[in-house]
Chain A
């Protein structure tokens, strides 16, 4: 037997009735279990890192680069000496910008429950407009509050076609594959299909 059997002649459709049911149940259970994780934020790229009162505070943002629309911001709080992550802080992220002489501000708490990396404090927010945004991270830990600030550069929103191009490209690609499939099926078959390695 020197080639892959592709003629599907050894099938027994009844044999796998139970596995289908089990697989469906497992998939449903996994999907349901993980559904709650869909809202978790992720780290992204480092936006700025600063020291204040014995703490190192790093702000990460995703998508990379930041764009108008939904975004995830994550904060890592470490002590300067040990670089150990601080897990009992209360973190609030403020972002603000000025558009047409009008201040736009968003204030959101960041929590570990929203983060997929549980050493970070994460939050989801929406950047309404492009440009430079001021970001301030307030960290309250052990009765002490420290703040660090930095700039976030937010690019304009991508056009939907640019954002979702794989979904549009998939259609001509699949049609091309189907056409090739039909062309191959119409061709007269070779007697020896050759050897797959």
Chain B
């Protein structure tokens, strides 16, 4: 094959957001289609699926294929793209009658609470009715098709990606409106007689013919951009004639074939009438779920993950002690600080507490316990989170003050210290005292897991009501019970749960599993939780959550240019060896004084809306609502380090294992990074505001009272958001990349 053709066919300008939207749409449709198929037997079921996926494929080809790569050089490629957007994708999508499957495919709560009020809203229905009525739909279609092919607007679209996207969106959506009347994708009686489809389609073909004829017969190059770039064997004028031909011949066929079909259908209505599937649905019996036989593989996965992480930890420790003391080329300078931190937070946001699940410290501890175990009771005065709050605070300070991330030797010692502490504490004391009361990493994960989407939870509460052995907490001959004293029937949310899966293994009824959880449920429902109590009664947990929230901003701010310059100016003023003091002052202001001040302010503002007896409890609940914005800041910050440093893992491991030297490349900041970080912050702020609103609504149903209670916390979360945006727009250190 001609190399140029090969190269052209290899040109796929993939746009990740568009591709993601296409995949998401396909997923929602397939989900709804499968649900519909399970419950109702519908005619031409498979054809609907094929048609919808075909429509999405047409959209993919129009926006992500070589057609898109060449639309600036070749008018014929561009017209093929328009053909797909106007005449192929919309009818294929509508023929799948997608509305019901798409609605069924959405999460039930989102549909019921989020979308249904809009779908029932009369004015919105009137607007949609108006838009799909043939006169309006045809007018919009004709104006869009003709307007965007005028030289001025066409050149504008070629010169600007934003206008180009708008042009394509106009074509697609006016195509949907135009074909709606022809296909009637929603069940129900059509508003217009069927015969109107014939003149309607003919009029559509006239619009197409006008554009095509102008391209074919103009005798000159209409769009100057194509005259400037003479590409391939065709002259620009020949390319324009070919473009007109593409629009004219296949385009007219697409309009006229349905005209013929409509005529035939009208002349022989009984023979060619297509039955709507919705009229003849048959309820099928659902197959019974046999949950007893489905044994979980999660415990096995846990052991495999623990062994893997243990091997990596040994490698990191060895390289930290013995390898070169340059963080960018040492496993101890790269893997824990760039990869592990980011991946564990992403896992928490996407699934749940996977790091605690695969914690290598617990594997070593389990082995040590086989040698010795004293089973002492953890001191009563330490059965809270205060010790771990202190350790977390010290860690935040020492990380900045002693540049832990830049010191492989110290990093290796920290990991060794962790192993030692885990073994000593858990060999001496019963249960998982280290995880529950000491480990700062675990406490951080517990706080972040408050908004995780998955939870280890009882599948069927009725089974637990008849249980007398309570193996999930007591254990049995085969497996120990929960070491964190979480009794499954009374467990709610992820707090204090390490995803160890002991309860999953122990339950003789196989009634415990890893199931979906509403992301905000734990924060909005202040119920009694086994071994934790009510979160609003636990000052230590609230303080821990606030440390994690405000620590996110302080930790990220500590590595941006202006804050570092401020710290160094104070360092110079105060003299040598005072940098740790300056950092300590910054930390105390950021994670202790500021949240304390905000809490007092909020309490005083809320005075007129909340009875005195409840004021403290209400404020604690609102304080927990800040967790999403704090977690989003951690995720945005760690995403920066991961996105700029993920490629270091391979060369660093190769160097450590085989001694292979490598060049440190200048890291590039991906163009999508800031957008992704802002998306995370947006999501965090919106989730925080939503949780605040849900909490306020539980105390008073009047809008004024809700607004009053909400105001200080909404302002606080907006201020945190603004601080986060400011931090993201500052130059940030690329740690572990020799770019200090």
Question: Which residues of B have CB within 8 Å of A170?
Answer: 682
Apart from A8-B116, A16-B31, A23-B31: 6 A-B pairs, beta carbons within 8 A: A4-B99, A10-B35, A58-B229, A117-B13, A119-B7, A184-B117
Do A116 and B682 form a contact, CB below 8 Å, given A6-B116, A10-B35, A185-B117?
no
A195 at the interface (CB under 8 A from B): yes
B10 at the interface (CB under 8 A from A): yes
Q: What is the interface residue range for chain B against chain A?
A: 35 or more
19 contacts between A and B (CB under 8 A): A1-B188, A1-B278, A4-B103, A5-B100, A8-B108, A10-B39, A11-B104, A13-B108, A31-B16, A38-B672, A42-B13, A46-B229, A62-B161, A116-B13, A116-B14, A194-B122, A196-B128, A197-B128, A197-B188
Interface positions, chain B 183-216, Cβ under 8 Å from A, are 186-189, 191
A25 to chain B, nearest CB (A): 12
| Contact between chains at B35 and A117 (CB < 8 Å) | no
B576 at the interface (CB under 8 A from A): no
A2 to chain B, nearest CB (A): 4
CB within 8 A of B38: which of A15, A43, A64?
Answer: A15
Question: Which residues of B have CB within 8 Å of A144?
Answer: none
A85 at the interface (CB under 8 A from B): yes
CB nearest neighbor in A for B28? A23
A158 to chain B, nearest CB (A): 12
B120 at the interface (CB under 8 A from A): yes
B727 to chain A, nearest CB (A): 12
CB within 8 A of A195: which of B125, B225, B670?
Answer: B125
CB nearest neighbor in A for B36? A10
Do A38 and B13 form a contact, CB below 8 Å, given A30-B23, A195-B188?
no
CB nearest neighbor in B for A13? B108
CB within 8 A of B7: which of A16, A37, A87, A175?
Answer: A87
| Contact between chains at A7 and B116 (CB < 8 Å) | yes
Could you tell me the distance between the alpha carbons of A12 and B125 in the complex, rounded to whole angstroms? Answer: 28
Could you tell me the distance between the alpha carbons of A23 and B100 in the complex, rounded to whole angstroms? Answer: 20
Residue picked from B117, B669, B678, most chain A C-beta under 10 Å:
B117
CB within 8 A of B34: which of A19, A189, A196?
Answer: A19
| Contact between chains at B674 and A196 (CB < 8 Å) | no
Could you tell me the distance between the alpha carbons of A112 and B125 in the complex, rounded to whole angstroms? Answer: 51
Do A181 and B117 form a contact, CB below 8 Å, given A5-B103, A7-B112, A196-B186?
yes
B253 at the interface (CB under 8 A from A): no
CB within 8 A of A118: which of B7, B121, B682?
Answer: B7
B528 at the interface (CB under 8 A from A): no
Could you tell me the distance between the alpha carbons of A14 and B689 in the complex, rounded to whole angstroms? Answer: 31
Can you list the 9 inter-chain pairs with the closest CB atoms, starting with the nearest?
A184-B117, A118-B7, A6-B116, A167-B678, A116-B13, A117-B69, A2-B188, A193-B120, A6-B119
Interface positions, chain B 599-622, Cβ under 8 Å from A, are none
B654 at the interface (CB under 8 A from A): no
CB within 8 A of B11: which of A20, A26, A119, A194?
Answer: A119
Residue picked from A38, A180, A190, most chain B C-beta under 10 Å:
A38
Question: Which residues of A have CB within 8 Å of B685?
Answer: 171
| Contact between chains at A8 and B122 (CB < 8 Å) | no
Do A16 and B186 form a contact, CB below 8 Å, given A39-B668, A118-B7, A184-B118?
no
Residues of chain B at the chain A interface (Cβ within 8 Å): 3-4, 7-8, 10-14, 16, 19, 23, 27, 30-31, 34-36, 38-40, 69-70, 72, 99-100, 103-104, 108, 111-122, 125-126, 128-129, 132-133, 159-161, 180, 186-189, 191, 225, 228-233, 278-279, 286, 289, 668-672, 674-675, 678-679, 682, 685-686, 689-690, 725, 729
Do A167 and B675 form a contact, CB below 8 Å, given A12-B35, A184-B117?
yes
Could you tell me the distance between the alpha carbons of A43 and B671 in the complex, rounded to whole angstroms? Answer: 16
| Contact between chains at B186 and A27 (CB < 8 Å) | no
CB nearest neighbor in A for B105? A16
Question: Which residues of A have CB within 8 Å of B674?
Answer: 164
A76-84, A95-103, A127-135, A148-156 - the one binding chain B: A76-84
| Contact between chains at B8 and A118 (CB < 8 Å) | yes
| Contact between chains at A85 and B7 (CB < 8 Å) | yes
A109 at the interface (CB under 8 A from B): no
A119 to chain B, nearest CB (A): 5
Residue picked from B72, B278, B672, most chain A C-beta under 10 Å:
B72
| Contact between chains at B70 and A117 (CB < 8 Å) | yes
Question: Which residues of A have CB within 8 Å of B225?
Answer: 46
| Contact between chains at A64 and B35 (CB < 8 Å) | no
B164 to chain A, nearest CB (A): 10
